[in-house]
Amino acid sequence: MVAIIVGLIIALIIFVVVVSAIQQHKEKQEAEKRVKVAKQKAIIDESEALILNLASLPSSPNLVKILNRRSLNAAKIMRELMPNVKAIRSRINEIKARLEAAEDLAANQNSEDSFILPDNEQQILAILQCIKKLRATLKSEQSRGILDAQTFTQEDQRLDAMQLKINIESLTKRGSQAQSKEMLGSARQYFEKALQTLTNHPMKTEYTTTKHAEISAQLIEITDALKITNASDAARKAKDEENELDVLFQPKKKW
């Protein structure tokens, strides 16, 4: 009788341990699923935020297509993880519709890359940060095999050229503003930095060649102006010193 009771107790303990292990395993699976779902949702949110930020850049239907496809892939993974959630299916249909519209626009993409530099420094910084995130996203999609090498290269070079143009235009604008205020030393620093940025950039285009010539001419003008200013300052200083000596050594009046 005692042996039976002991056996039942042991069996009960084993049952409790097994049930607990199963429960812990399920909780672990659910936790892992939540982490995976959160990761995919973050991808969708980031992609859609980038699409909104593209409004500040020259039209790029191809980038919109890439980002919508990224969102769609993430939404499909969410559906696999949570097949019973109807909201995910609706989201997939919505993203598919946006992707189809983006593909139509990309097929007729205009290569015009006109861009007006904002006056606000914070806006310029936000645009540069957006471009940086876009390039990182493209690199990630390409490394995962989702984006082909040719498309990646084409879009990355386009963003790189845009980033360079914003940097150069911002520097030359600051240089021109400093020059108009006769702050020639500061103006020269801005133009020299712009010229160095162009020189170090590996891609040579019509824009970089034209800008290099313009900035070089501007630097020559500033250097000449500085020479005149320095000569004028030196002459004025010499005159002041001469006047001081005249006062010092002039005959003293007798009272």
| Amino acid 3: pLDDT | 75
pLDDT class of 136 with cuts at 50, 70, 90: very high
Task: Tell me how many domains the chain contains.
Answer: 1
Q: Is residue 4 part of a domain?
A: no
Q: Is residue 31 part of a domain?
A: yes
Residue 68 lies in a domain: yes
- Residue 235, CA distances (Å) to 13, 81, 185, 228, 238 in order: 102, 81, 19, 10, 5
Whether 37 is in a domain gets the answer yes
* pLDDT digit string, tens, across residues 99-109: 888 877 766 65
pLDDT, tens digit, 9 for 90 and up, residues 209-253: 999 999 999 999 888 887 776 655 554 554 555 555 455 545 555
Please tell me the pTM assigned to this model: 0.74
Question: What is the average per-residue pLDDT within 110-137?
Answer: 81
Q: Decide if 72 is inside a domain.
A: yes
**Parent domain of 44:** 17-108
| 167 pLDDT higher than 90 | yes
Indicate the average pLDDT of the chain: 83
With respect to residue 163, please indicate whether it lies within any of the assigned structural domains: no
Mean pLDDT of 171-189: 90
The number of CA neighbours under 13 Å toward the Cβ of 127 is 23
In a domain, 40, yes or no: yes
